[in-house]
Amino acid sequence: MIPFNNHPRATNPLCSVGLQLDPRIYPARLDLSPEEEFYSFIHQFPDIEKQLSGAQATRAWTRTDRLQYSAQHVVGDRFALLAHAVGFIDPLYSKGLYVTHMSIMVAADLILKAHETGDYSAAAFAPLETLTLRYMHMHDQLVAGSFKAWSHYKLWQVYSVLWLLGAYLEYLKLTVTRLRATNRADYLAQLSELQLAGGGFAPFFVLQEKIDALIDAVNPDDEAEIDRTVAEIRTIFSSFNWLSSAFRDLLAGKNHLPNNKLRVNLLNQTDGFFGDGIYREHFFGDASTFSLVKKALSEQARYSVFALDRQRSTHARLAMQTTRHTDTTERANGHSSQNRESTTSSPAGLVSPQ
């Protein structure tokens, strides 16, 4: 369930509700309508059933077959696929739009380069293939590991830390790179090691591969084996020097991350944000705390509620300016008023506000 009304300024009152089943265990109930099948399954879970008791569908119920698919190649001479044409794993961690945007950004950069060089070969677009397949692979591992770990709470307690740590490091890398990068080429170069989770930080991938191998191998029905696996995973985490206290608390039994993830201890010189050499080097490079904070504050101001509201009101005026601009251009081109009307109905944001 994904609520779109989960913050005070939300304008969308809806929730997105979906149910995903493993068709090997729950074959489609074609004798029931999609709605009936949904509620017959939900009926087994009184808490969820109660939560949905007053829900009303705002669009027709749909049911679809298996969602997963994947291609082995992403690019060829004179063609390239965007991420969702390459594959789909699972909506579990809501990574779809991130993958989509990353794929578009890299593809756009390569297309601009190809436009200059005239080289639209598969080799010229290879970085898109590398990135997309890496993201797909990590997504597959994380989703498969999570599904398996759900079979026993002890497994999930440790595996959830891998997922959260991976997501946190990725977010950190994306955020700080935005502050550090000097231009588009620099930005993409700094993000070139990303794999969807882990922020491109090599020690994370070592840890993740070991933990995923253990989760792959464990028999979820064997309590003693589960205990051994969990103990091994805990040892692996304890050798990872950059685990902040919020994650250590999860390993110690807490079942949620704090609301405010900014802690003074993140600034510790030994184990905090700016701690060990390779961590600092990877995420912060030679950027000073002062320069990052200054840039972060200017971004905060630029995207603050106040600034965005102001921008919206300015956009309205720009829309009119754009109309005038379009009118002038069209008059110069000798276009009819009928054409002008259809041109001005396109979104103002897409037209250069000169």
- Residues in contact with ligand FAD by the rule CB under 6 A: 2, 18, 82, 84, 91, 94, 96-97, 100
Least CB distance to ligand FAD at residue 9 (A): 19
Least CB distance to ligand FAD at residue 92 (A): 9
Q: Is 16 helix (H, G, I), strand (E, B) or coil?
A: strand
Exposed (0-12), middle (13-18) or buried (19+): which is 229, by Cβ within 10 Å?
buried
DSSP 320: H
Least CB distance to ligand FAD at residue 132 (A): 12
Least CB distance to ligand FAD at residue 182 (A): 28
Closest residue by beta carbon to ligand FAD: 96
Q: Which is nearer to ligand FAD, 10 or 297 (CB)?
A: 10
Q: Which is nearer to ligand FAD, 93 or 205 (CB)?
A: 93
Question: Shortest CA distance to 170 belongs to which of 193, 144, 148?
Answer: 193
User: In angstroms, rounded to a whole number, what is the distance separating the alpha carbons of residues 30 and 37?
Assistant: 8
Least CB distance to ligand FAD at residue 102 (A): 11
Q: Which is nearer to ligand FAD, 100 or 328 (CB)?
A: 100
User: In angstroms, rounded to a whole number, what is the distance separating the alpha carbons of residues 295 and 308?
Assistant: 18
User: In angstroms, rounded to a whole number, what is the distance separating the alpha carbons of residues 8 and 88?
Assistant: 32
Q: Which is nearer to ligand FAD, 63 or 295 (CB)?
A: 63
**Residue 198 and residue 161 in contact, taking contact as beta carbons nearer than 8 Å:** no
DSSP 15: E
Q: How many CA atoms lie within 13 A of 296 on its CB side?
A: 12
Q: Which is nearer to ligand FAD, 97 or 213 (CB)?
A: 97
